[in-house]
């Protein structure tokens, strides 16, 4: 990494474990930030359950094991924060308060991106991706999501808020330098807090379903024969001929009714349909399984 990268020279201390925080930290690291990932003695549960994914998300980061339940650990964290620009957390506000994080953020004039489950009076209510999705109608009863949408989008929101906070911090520092302030970090103004709410991320992701776009029977939910999956002799293909010119071309070649297309695709192997898509310039893709 070099200072030529967008976040070159920026130091991030991340206390965030599980998924949204590490996703955000990975984004910031990819933009050139130095990321110091602080983990408890038990480690990050993500590493215990999915070590390959953990390695992917923490590549290029510095991993420190610090016990924040004792005084020595808090002092180690204080030392790290004194040289940092941004703190990333994913814990309930009362847990952050118990660690004294709001005071440390103000003391060191940091940007604090805090990932929480709910907003307002529910900020300390526990939750996970599954419950956030359940609350916003992106689950089909009896099924499990294949992508933790609230976690993934929450991680992206956290990276976005980190950039916004860092911009605000740079504006503050520039103003301080212009005023002849002896503290170029602008720390005397306290911290900058940016809160990311996973429940709100789930609500944002649910927009297409909420407006009938992707609910069962909607335009992106199987309501048209030109935008759905079909069985082949050896697998499945996804057909995304949504635009009129694609739909018209497919209809002229194979038919315009679901039953017609079902019979046509079931008659040939997947490779045939991939070649067919290339020949006729149609958006058709093999359904990959794992």
Q: Among the three residues 183, 210, 237, which one is the final residue of a domain in this structure?
A: 210
Number of compact structural domains in the chain: 2
| 59 & 169 share domain | yes
Rg (CA), the chain: 24
Percent helix, strand, coil in the chain, to 5, is: 45, 15, 40
| 95 & 235 share domain | no
Residue 87 DSSP class: E
Residue 6 is assigned to a structural domain of this protein:
no
Distance CA 151, CA 129 (A): 6
Residue 218 is assigned to a structural domain of this protein:
no
| Per-residue tokens: 214 | 């992707």
Residue 181 is assigned to a structural domain of this protein:
yes
36 φ, ψ to 5°?
Answer: -105, 110
Distance CA 198, CA 116 (A): 6
pLDDT tens for 53-106 read 999 999 999 999 999 999 999 999 999 999 999 999 999 999 999 999 999 999
Residue 233 DSSP class: S
| 117 & 242 share domain | no
User: Domain holding 240: CATH number?
Assistant: 3.30.1540.10
Residue 5 three-state SS:
coil
| 102 & 54 share domain | yes
Residue 4 is assigned to a structural domain of this protein:
no
| pLDDT score of 286 | 97
| 176 & 239 share domain | no
User: Domain holding 200: CATH number?
Assistant: 3.40.50.10540
116 φ, ψ to 5°?
Answer: -125, 170
| 57 & 114 share domain | yes
Q: Which residues contact 279 (CB under 8 A, 6 or more apart)?
A: none
Distance CA 153, CA 129 (A): 10
| 263 & 120 share domain | no
196 φ, ψ to 5°?
Answer: -115, 125
Distance CA 93, CA 170 (A): 26
| Per-residue tokens: 58 | 């923490």
Cβ atoms of residues 232 and 273 within 8 Å: yes
| 130 & 179 share domain | yes
β-pair type (227-231, 236-240): antiparallel
Residue 71 three-state SS:
helix
Residue 219 is assigned to a structural domain of this protein:
no
Taken in order 2, 85, 101, 94, is the CA torsion positive or negative?
Answer: negative
Residue 221 is assigned to a structural domain of this protein:
no
Residue 68 is assigned to a structural domain of this protein:
yes
pLDDT (tens place) for every residue of the chain, 290 residues total: 445 899 999 999 999 999 999 999 999 999 999 999 999 999 999 999 999 999 999 999 999 999 999 999 999 999 999 999 999 999 999 999 999 999 999 999 999 999 999 999 898 899 999 999 999 988 888 999 999 999 999 999 999 999 999 999 999 888 877 766 655 555 556 899 999 999 999 999 999 989 999 888 899 999 999 999 999 999 999 999 999 999 999 999 999 999 999 999 999 999 999 999 999 999 999 999 87
Q: Among the three residues 154, 185, 210, which one is the final residue of a domain in this structure?
A: 210
Distance CA 23, CA 150 (A): 12
Nearest in space to 73 (alpha carbons), one of 92, 101, 106 = 101
Residue 28 is assigned to a structural domain of this protein:
yes
Q: Which domain holds residue 104?
A: 11-210
| 247 & 179 share domain | no
The per-residue b/e assignment along 222-235, b for 16 or more CB within 10 angstroms, e otherwise, is ebbbbbbebebeee
| 113 & 242 share domain | no
Q: Among the three residues 165, 185, 210, which one is the final residue of a domain in this structure?
A: 210
pTM of the model: 0.87
| 156 & 16 share domain | yes
| 36 & 100 share domain | yes
Cβ atoms of residues 270 and 232 within 8 Å: yes
């Amino acid at each position: 990494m070099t200072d030529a990268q967008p976040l070159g020279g920026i130091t991030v201390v991340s206390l965030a474990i599980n998924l949204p925080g590490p996703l955000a930290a990975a984004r910031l690291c990819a933009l050139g930030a130095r990321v110091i990932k602080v983990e408890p003695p038990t480690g990050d549960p993500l590493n215990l359950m999915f070590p390959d994914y953990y390695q992917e998300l923490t590549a290029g980061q510095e991993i420190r094991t610090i016990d924040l339940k004792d005084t020595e650990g808090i002092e180690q964290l204080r030392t790290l924060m004194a040289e940092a620009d941004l703190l990333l957390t994913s814990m309930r506000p009362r847990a952050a308060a118990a660690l004294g994080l709001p005071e440390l953020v103000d003391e060191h004039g940091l940007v604090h991106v805090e990932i929480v489950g709910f907003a307002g009076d529910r900020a300390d209510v526990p939750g996970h991706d599954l419950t956030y999705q359940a609350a916003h109608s992106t689950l089909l009863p009896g099924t499990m999501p294949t992508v933790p949408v609230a976690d993934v989008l929450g991680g992206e929101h956290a990276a976005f808020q980190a950039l916004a906070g860092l911009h605000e911090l740079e504006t503050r520092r520039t103003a301080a330098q212009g005023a002849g302030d002896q503290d170029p970090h602008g720390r005397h103004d306290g911290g900058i807090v940016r809160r990311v709410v996973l429940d709100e991320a789930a609500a944002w992701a649910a927009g297409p379903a909420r407006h009938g776009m992707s609910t069962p029977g909607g335009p992106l939910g199987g309501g048209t024969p030109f935008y759905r999956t079909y069985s082949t002799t050896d697998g499945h293909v996804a057909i995304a001929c949504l635009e009129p010119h694609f739909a018209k071309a497919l209809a002229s070649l194979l038919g315009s009714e679901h039953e017609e297309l079902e019979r046509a695709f079931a008659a040939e192997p997947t490779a045939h349909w991939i070649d067919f898509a290339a020949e006729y310039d149609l958006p058709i893709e093999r359904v990959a399984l794992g």
